[in-house]
Structure 1
Amino acid sequence: MGSLLLPPWPLPSPASPSARLLLPELHSPARLAFPSSPSAARPPRRDGAYCPRAAPPHADAAAALMLAHAEAGDFASARSMWAQLLHSSAAPRLRAAAPRLLPAYARLGRCDEALLVVRELCARDPGAARALYPLAVTCFGAAGELALMEDAVREMARHGLPVDSATGNAFVCHYAASGTVPQMEAAYRRLKASRLLVSVAAIRAMASAYISHRKYYKLGEFVTDVGLGRRAGGNLLWNLYLLSFAANFKMKSLQRAFLDMVAAGFTPDLTTFNLRAVAFSKMCMFWDLHLTADHMRRDGVAPDLVTHGCFVDAYLERRLARNLNFAFDRLGAGEPVVATDAVVFEAFGKGGFHASSEVLLEATGGERRWTYYKLLGVYLRKQHRKNQIFWNY
């Protein structure tokens, strides 16, 4: 019986073809996983070959950088970046940057360039004119450039854009702030001819202009023309109408206007009462002052620092400081606050007690609890020291 064990196969020699099939690594050069040096894996560079450049900055980042240059006053860089963005695919981003760019130009006195920016942007995107020209009117008016503001309005009309209520009222406000009274009145007539409603801000701006020029009769005519029956601004129109008489100390006309206001269904507020109280105080009409205090108490209107100041100034004018406790008892106690409309101070200024107490309240900053009696004591001591210094000289 033959043996079941077979002799082992002889290993092929490296020179045989089968050895080359089984062990290819023995007869081929070794392959490296990574190049030994960067130059080994990089093809040799040829002259004129394409080299990729850095990507341009993002459109939003470029617009933000342009705004930063403009707000910092670097107009050359801002203008250069504007030109690059305007003639690129990032031009739509400029419309979103305009609400910050135009005020920056106008604030730093570059209104001509701001108008050029509006024209260039509208030439590329005509749909942007509806938002950009009202913004330009506001920026030019705030900077006092009334001629450029007129140019912007004319270009709006040339583009077929109507002047809306906000733009028309801003037009009047800017003429009231930077123009003359005839120019302001002409702007108001244009607004009225357009059948647009005069806003409360425009009414206040025109009233401030009339008060600063001491044209109280025209102030009364203006509020009458707007319409005293209008309730949108509360008692603003009636208070301005009363102010037109109180500032000229026409006391009988003031009383008639007050009765007409009550008859028209308007309820007097704190500003209404203080308007009359200031006029009575400057005329030292004590009886009318006390009637005003009684009327306020009956209507539930709490007096403020201005009301107390009217009594203090009138009593000190007649050297009746000893009777001030009686007047303060009738006014009632409360926290010293100022709740009167500032238009009263534009016409009459602040009284001595009001101005002194307001400075004291701001200086303490709420660290001390004040009452009207404590403020009165401080003010009387201050007046006493002032008189002593006067007589020592």
Structure 2
Amino acid sequence: MEINSLSLPSCRMPILLKDSHSGSPQQQNKLIWWQNEKGVIGGKDNSVDCSSLAQNSSRKRMIHQSDGSLHDIKVEGYMPKQTSLCVSMLYYTENGFFPQAQTLWEQLVNSSFVPSVQFISRLFDAYAKHRKFDVVIDILRYVDMRNFSILPDVYWLAISCFGREGQLELMEDMANEMASSGVHIYSRTANAFLLYYSLFGTLEEMENTYGRLKKSRFLIEKEVIRAVASAYIKERKFYELGEFLRDVGLRRKNVGNLLWNLMLLSYAANFKMKSLQREFIGMVESGFRPDITTFNIRALAFSRMALFWDLHLSIEHMEHTKIIPDLVTFGCVVDAYLDRRLGRNLDFALNKMNLDDSPRLLTDPFVYEALGKGGFQMSSEAFFEYKTQRKWTYRSLIQKYLKKHYRKNQIFWNY
């Protein structure tokens, strides 16, 4: 008979697992999860970086050899017997042998086992892969009952584990439990909440979560900014995206040009050209140096609006600032002229660009989410997929595309 959860003594933590498999939490059950009656719970995050530990740990699966030995999973820092039990348990868990994993866990618990963050991280990943969320909670209970110092890290691992699988209600319950137990909720945990709500929640849930993060004065991280922006872009909510970016603060230096580029994109997607130009000037005056993504956002808008003079000025500005055009830049010029049946003027349009360079694609992918890919870019990427020894240049790609473009307008009659 399969054992669905680890048998552990009871402790002060209540049952958190819900029957619902939905990733959307019930709004009325939410709390301000990093605030209690004494005020805000938070502070400087001095705990172990679980993310790097989890990424650096080996994830190779063991292979049963004829002699019964297990290989390729490294667990260090324990007594030899505990190391053997940990290695075996990881193997059984990752391969779905839960009764055997349960037996080994009981042996570890009875041997005064002190788990490491790395080991628990890998266990959580394995159980989450098989959607054994009740076991994740039971492991957390054990750490909480023994009052190990790694408890804040394990809470964060559990929240991240639930979030990656879209279990937003479990994630919310876990944070509420942290606050009621007096465990500090640090910036990385708050950012994890916003990240997973932006990936799996509704826009309203995401905005409410951002409001809670903002109230607690935590700084939103670069990865989370991208996720929130992507959620707005998917729903074509460009005005709301702009308001979010202004609220975060466009002058933040620690995220590079990301905020400014997203702001420019919010205007370019709606073809608000005056606002686009005004924000671009504001970006430069604020001390930010435009990059290839910045220029290509403008070039795509100019191309779609057939603003040839602005497009040429933008390319000259790129040359002046020593920004090398990429495939998207060339595509803006080619598509703009061909869409207006001005293909004969392409030589004049491209004379300031090096046609013999090897094609490169350096534009941030979020640009395609909002503006899509042009015909030249899609055609060129299709050529790249062919496993040929040919060395492509912009010149050869343009020649191929022109030939394809002119042929599609011809009518062939079958007699």
Question: Which band: TM-score by shorter chain?
Answer: 0.7 to 0.9
1:87 match: 110
Aligned residue for 2:274, secondary structure, equals helix
Amino acid in the other structure paired with 1:214: R
Which of 342, 345, 348 is matched with 2:368 structurally?
345
2:279 match: 257
Counterparts in 2 of 1:1-393, with a 5 A limit? 58-89=81-112, 91-93=113-115, 96-333=118-355, 334-364=357-387, 367-388=389-410, 391-392=412-413
Distance 1:192 1:186 in 2: 10
Q: Contact 1:211–1:347 at 8 Å: present in 2 too?
A: yes
Q: CA deviation at 1:95?
A: 5.6
Give TM-score scaled by structure 2 length: 0.77
Q: CA deviation at 1:392?
A: 4.1
Amino acid in the other structure paired with 2:207: E
Distance 1:199 1:80 in 2: 41
Identity of aligned residues (%): 50
Amino acid in the other structure paired with 2:105: W
Q: Which has the larger radius of gyration?
A: 1
Q: Contact 2:296–2:329 at 8 Å: present in 1 too?
A: yes
**CA displacement 1:140-179 (0-9 Å, x = unmatched):** 1111000111122122223322111111111111111011
Distance 1:156 1:132 in 2: 11
Amino acid in the other structure paired with 1:114: V
More moved, 224-233 vs 77-86: 77-86
* Cα RMSD (Å): 1.9
Q: Contact 1:86–1:94 at 8 Å: present in 2 too?
A: no
Distance 1:363 1:157 in 2: 55
Q: Larger RCO: Structure 1 or Structure 2 (Cα < 8 Å, ≥ 6 residues apart)?
A: 2
Q: Contact 2:194–2:209 at 8 Å: present in 1 too?
A: yes
Aligned residue for 2:149, secondary structure, equals helix
Amino acid in the other structure paired with 1:116: D
- Aligned CA distance change for structure 1 residues 340 and 193 (closer, same or farther; 3 Å): same
Distance 1:78 1:392 in 2: 70
Distance 2:110 2:281 in 1: 66
Q: Contact 2:117–2:153 at 8 Å: present in 1 too?
A: no
Distance 2:382 2:320 in 1: 31
Q: Contact 2:297–2:367 at 8 Å: present in 1 too?
A: yes
Aligned residue for 1:220, secondary structure, equals helix
Q: Contact 1:309–1:354 at 8 Å: present in 2 too?
A: yes
Q: Which runs of 5+ in 1 are unaligned?
A: 1-56
Distance 1:392 1:78 in 2: 70
Q: CA deviation at 1:66?
A: 1.0
Q: Contact 1:122–1:128 at 8 Å: present in 2 too?
A: no
Distance 1:72 1:94 in 2: 21
Q: CA deviation at 1:362?
A: 3.7
Distance 1:252 1:392 in 2: 48
Amino acid in the other structure paired with 1:325: D
Distance 2:118 2:346 in 1: 61
Distance 1:219 1:137 in 2: 26
Q: CA deviation at 1:76?
A: 2.6
Q: CA deviation at 1:125?
A: 3.8
Aligned residue for 1:363, secondary structure, equals coil
Distance 2:351 2:96 in 1: 59
Distance 1:276 1:85 in 2: 60
Distance 1:345 1:328 in 2: 23
Distance 2:319 2:342 in 1: 23
Distance 2:224 2:383 in 1: 34
Aligned residue for 1:233, secondary structure, equals coil
Q: Contact 1:59–1:93 at 8 Å: present in 2 too?
A: no
Number of residues of Structure 1 aligned to a counterpart in Structure 2: 335
- Aligned CA distance change for structure 1 residues 155 and 126 (closer, same or farther; 3 Å): farther
Aligned residue for 1:249, secondary structure, equals coil
1:14 match: none
- Aligned CA distance change for structure 1 residues 214 and 94 (closer, same or farther; 3 Å): same
Aligned residue for 1:130, secondary structure, equals helix
Distance 2:220 2:150 in 1: 26
